[in-house]
Amino acid sequence: MRFRLVLFVLALLLAAFLFSCRSGGVGASRRLLIYTPHGQDLLKDFVARYKQQHPNVDIQFLDMGSRQILERVTVERNRPQADLWWGASHTTFQTAADDNLLAQYRPTWADKVPGDARDPNDRWFGTYATPQVIAYNSDAVSAADAPRDWDDVIDPKWRDKVLIRNPNPSDTMRAIFGAMVLRFYKDTNSPEGGYDWLRKLDANVHEYTADGTLLMQKLARREGLITLWDMPDVRLFKEQKNLPVGYNVPASGTPVIIDGIAIIRGAPNEAEAKQFYEFVTTPESLAYAAQKYYRIPVRTDLDRAQLPAWMSEPFKPLAIDWDVLRKQGGDWLRYWDTEIRGRSHK
């Protein structure tokens, strides 16, 4: 009899323990896994800011290229590991949405972004607008001599002086390469003119770097003098890390990526993902990201006085058929990888 009573008490204790774990009782730790390409500085900062308000959340993130995230989420589709995907171009998010990899979620600010900065079925929303620029080592290249437009970068005078981030895992470089092909494709319905431009670029390339951080470090060390990269990163390395870099927004126009956020379909911790999603997209968080990390917010309802003055300076977006780029850009990049990359130096 006593043995049965002991078993009964143990069963009650076990049930109470399991219930407290499942329900997230007082003091219980909640979990959140984020896939993101946003970089260590911004990520650690926002995680720390979030944990000030939610100290019981165990937040982990994997920092990798946007295309690597897409591949990983695709592989994990039947057993999702991550909860939130924070950061990638709108084209990558739309591909993921079309492949049924993203959950529907309509944030509280859904009507405060333009129609082209969100999925019509609420599977992703835009957070930042990211223009691409021509960057250069400002100690080695004067502002007067620095390239001012895309075709200046393929001038033979820059042979072996250009650094390019490997475009395969990078939405930034995929957008730039795709935009160069589309400059010719829109008139000829053929990528050949764009391929010829990429061949001329390849002739000037000293190295294709593994990631954006290495790209900027090598530029600062004069392993190359010119590069193509996104404006927020260039400003961060210039103004916060004190690297000798300057940049020009291409005179003929620049591709502007809409950087987004989405909840992964089947996320193990969807409620926590929604809460973090809302946290990083409040007016306060967006203004903070603008001031400290040079991220141009997509939301149209923000007080512009809270944003850096330079964000009100006009620049010319390049007209791009993003749907064509999304559907055909992979083929263009494969051709570049197999038929163009490195061949100019053989």
- 207: which residues sit within 8 A by CB, 6+ positions away? 163, 164, 218, 223, 224
Average pLDDT over residues 248-256: 97
Query: Strand 226-230 relative to strand 162-165: parallel, antiparallel, unpaired?
Result: parallel
Spell out the SS3 assignment of 95-158: HHHHCCCECCCCCCCHHHCCHHHECCCCCCEEEEEEEEEEEEECCCCCCCCCCCCHHHHCCHHH
Least confident of 39-43, 107-111, 257-261: 39-43
Chain-centroid distance of CA 301 in Å reads: 23
Among candidate residues 88, 82, 84, the one with its CA nearest the CA of residue 46: 84
pLDDT of the residue at 5: 42
CB 97 within 8 A of CB 121: yes
Is 77 or 24 the better-scoring residue by pLDDT?
77
Within 13 A of 231's CA, how many CA atoms are on the CB side? Answer: 21
Average pLDDT over residues 267-296: 98
Pairwise CA distance, residues 183 & 100, whole Å? 31
Pairwise CA distance, residues 225 & 323, whole Å? 33
Is 339 or 20 the better-scoring residue by pLDDT?
339
Strand partners, 247: 135
pLDDT of the residue at 123: 98
CB 154 within 8 A of CB 321: no
Pairwise CA distance, residues 118 & 124, whole Å? 6
pLDDT of the residue at 20: 39
Is 139 or 13 the better-scoring residue by pLDDT?
139
Position 344 confidence tier, pLDDT thresholds 50, 70, 90: confident
Position 313 confidence tier, pLDDT thresholds 50, 70, 90: confident
Question: With pLDDT > 90 as the criterion, what percentage of the chain qualifies?
Answer: 88
Position 346 confidence tier, pLDDT thresholds 50, 70, 90: low
Q: Which residue ranges form the domains of the chain, and what is each CATH number?
A: 20-127+258-309 (3.40.190.10), 130-256+316-345 (3.40.190.10)
pLDDT digits (tens, 9 = 90+) for 96-144: 999 999 999 999 999 999 999 999 999 999 999 999 999 999 999 999 9
Question: With pLDDT > 70 as the criterion, what percentage of the chain qualifies?
Answer: 91
The shares of helix, strand and coil residues in the chain, as percent rounded to the nearest 5, are 50, 20, 35
pLDDT of the residue at 29: 61
pLDDT digits (tens, 9 = 90+) for 171-216: 999 999 999 999 999 999 999 999 999 999 999 999 999 999 999 9
pLDDT of the residue at 328: 96
Measured between alpha carbons, how far is residue 6 from residues 14, 15, 229 in Å?
A: 12, 14, 67
Angle at 306 between CA 304 and CA 310, to 5 degrees: 65
CB 257 within 8 A of CB 90: yes
Position 62 confidence tier, pLDDT thresholds 50, 70, 90: very high
pLDDT digits (tens, 9 = 90+) for 142-164: 999 999 999 999 999 999 999 99
pLDDT of the residue at 34: 98
Q: Is the pLDDT of residue 10 over 50?
A: no
